[in-house]
Structure 1
Amino acid sequence: MIGLGLDGYDPDSQHDAAVAFRIRVVEDEQRIPLHQHRKGQLILALRGAITCEVENAMWMVPPQYAVWIPSQVAHSNKATPSAQLCFLFIEPNTVALPDRCCTLKISPLVRELILSLATKTREQLLLPATSRLVEALFDELPQQPQEQLQLPVSAHPKIRLMSETMAQEPAAWQTLTQWAHHFAMSERNLARLVVKETGLSFRRWRHQLQLILALQLLISGKSVQQTAQSLGYDSTTAFITMFRKGLGQTPARYITSLSTTSQ
């Protein structure tokens, strides 16, 4: 299926416990504006990446991971060019998943169960064998570990402007001093605003955004050095240190581990 719109299919029109679709994004980057479903939605990245945004946070979903969006949570999606994704829609109150958005690290078993479900026709969804597949999936899903791949944001216009500008020009807008001067306010007051609106210090918040952007660049094929330069790092070593603190591995090792399991 091409694109992110499911060719007009409404996932809420049926009451199956779970239904999945494998998606191949067309060459250009695709974005779906703010929307919501009665069903909960799990978005699994197979190749490329997808960014999901809700009211107060943004998630970056690389291969081997998925973002869980509970029932009725408004969200928008943006996929990288040529990304391959799998959408899993789950009927409310059928499986014990978190009641808030989160990123899950998906095991090979769960990944294959979801992909198998995505091959089922409407008629096959009604078969006992498919019901058993869904039961196995529902047994495994709650055991998937959560990962911190989200960026806290808010509706505050200053925080929104900072996140959008730094995402577009990460090397040009790096310091609290720059932003304080731009907003004509003291660094102390701006630092307090960032903590109030995001729960993180400016430094930690910036590093989390850089981590998300780094994953996007690395997955798109940029080298570690190119990614470090794009994010404004004078030293590749400093970038690697930041990345390892955030995800527990060097960029090269992390991307290698993703590519060995992506399709």
Structure 2
Amino acid sequence: MLDFSSTVFGVDRREYLPIACRPVHAYEDKFPLGYVYPEHTHDRAQLSFSLSGVMSVMTEDANFILPPGRAIWIPANTSHQVASRSAMHFQIVYIDPGIGEQPESCRVFDVSPLVRGLIHEIIGFDLNYDMQEREGRIVRLLLEEVSRVPALSVRVTLPQDTRLRQVCDAILANPSDDREISDWSEIAGMSRRSFTRHFKQETGMGLAAWRQQVRLMEAAARLSEGETVTSVALTVGYDSLSAFTFAFQRAFGMSPSVFRAK
């Protein structure tokens, strides 16, 4: 269940309680740089949209980065933690799981003008709205759009094995760490062969590819925060600016400079 008993940043969350009793409710809020909302769950699906600032969302099996203009769908009862990589301005919509056809897994997507407008309309719903009227049609159209738009490959799958997880946590904390598989397997207390086999089984890719995914997600976050392309490339562990640009272009469909400008 949602917890509206606390006060955060001077805003009494209990003011949302009457709205939260409705099958769909939404609001707009801000988090300061470095704020972490601890691991929690909701009995409703959650759609979070970053208006400005960079949001990090971690579930039990994946880590997501949301720069401005992107949203994440989190199914009901999915444990997750949210952290603000920079001062954030965001919108959230909560939807009862019984309403419409809803995605069954987390997905990140670019927010279209239509989705942005639908979220804005839901935030403005009157307390006594009727789901059988216009409001219900707006919510169902939003769900249709969330399911229809292409999901972006901006997730890093996390292993369940605690030995592998400590390695992944270390790389997430410092993506530029370029230690070899033999070093990481020793840290995990596993043979190189066993480490390699289990890592691929649990994440779907080898360590080098997984680490590159982490580096590119970190790069996207830093570019969204305004850092220069050269600075970001060096910070996340690339020795060559051209290699960074090529990898980023292949992953995001645009160059780092274009992404930063957007």
TM-score normalised by the shorter chain: which range applies?
A: 0.7 to 0.9
Task: Provide the rounded CA distance (Å) in 1 between the counterparts of 2:10 and 2:200.
Answer: 35
Task: Provide the rounded CA distance (Å) in 1 between the counterparts of 2:19 and 2:217.
Answer: 31
Task: Provide the rounded CA distance (Å) in 2 between the counterparts of 1:190 and 1:4.
Answer: 48
**Structure 2 residue aligned with 1:14, among 21, 28, 34?**
21
8 A Cα contact 2:26 2:93, kept in partner: yes
8 A Cα contact 1:191 1:201, kept in partner: yes
1:242 maps onto 2:247 in alignment? yes
CA shift in 2, pair 1:135/1:156, >3 Å = closer
TM-score, structure 2 as length reference: 0.86
1:15 Cα deviation from its structure 2 partner: 3.3
Task: Provide the rounded CA distance (Å) in 2 between the counterparts of 1:59 and 1:255.
Answer: 18
Deviation sequence 1:210-253 (CA, Å, 0-9, x none): 11111111111111100111012111111111111211111111
CA shift in 2, pair 1:13/1:144, >3 Å = same
1:4 Cα deviation from its structure 2 partner: 11
8 A Cα contact 2:115 2:145, kept in partner: yes
Task: Provide the rounded CA distance (Å) in 1 between the counterparts of 2:163 and 2:10.
Answer: 31
1:233 maps onto 2:233 in alignment? no
Number of residue pairs the alignment of both structures matches: 254
1:211 maps onto 2:216 in alignment? yes
Task: Provide the rounded CA distance (Å) in 2 between the counterparts of 1:253 and 1:4.
Answer: 37
Deviation sequence 1:179-222 (CA, Å, 0-9, x none): 13434544332211210221111122111111111111111111
**Structure 2 residue aligned with 1:140, among 131, 137, 145?**
145
CA shift in 2, pair 1:150/1:11, >3 Å = farther
Task: Provide the rounded CA distance (Å) in 1 between the counterparts of 2:244 and 2:125.
Answer: 44
Instruction: State the partner residue of 1:182.
Output: 187
Percent identity over the alignment is: 25
Deviation sequence 1:87-129 (CA, Å, 0-9, x none): 1111113132321112122211111210232234534x45955
1:11 Cα deviation from its structure 2 partner: 9.2
- Correspondence 1:1-263 to 2 at 5 A: 7-8=13-14, 9=16, 13-16=20-23, 18-26=24-32, 28-123=33-128, 125-126=129-130, 128-183=133-188, 185-257=190-262
Computed over aligned residues only, the root mean square deviation of the Cα atoms, in angstroms, reads 2.6
Task: Provide the rounded CA distance (Å) in 2 between the counterparts of 1:4 and 1:102.
Answer: 31
Deviation sequence 1:18-73 (CA, Å, 0-9, x none): 221111113x3111111111110011111112111111111111222211111111
Task: Provide the rounded CA distance (Å) in 2 between the counterparts of 1:5 and 1:210.
Answer: 36
Instruction: State the partner residue of 1:260.
Output: none
8 A Cα contact 1:69 1:102, kept in partner: yes
Task: Provide the rounded CA distance (Å) in 1 between the counterparts of 2:68 and 2:159.
Answer: 26
CA shift in 2, pair 1:141/1:11, >3 Å = farther
Structure 2: state its 5+ residue gaps: 1-6
Structure 1: state its 5+ residue gaps: 258-263
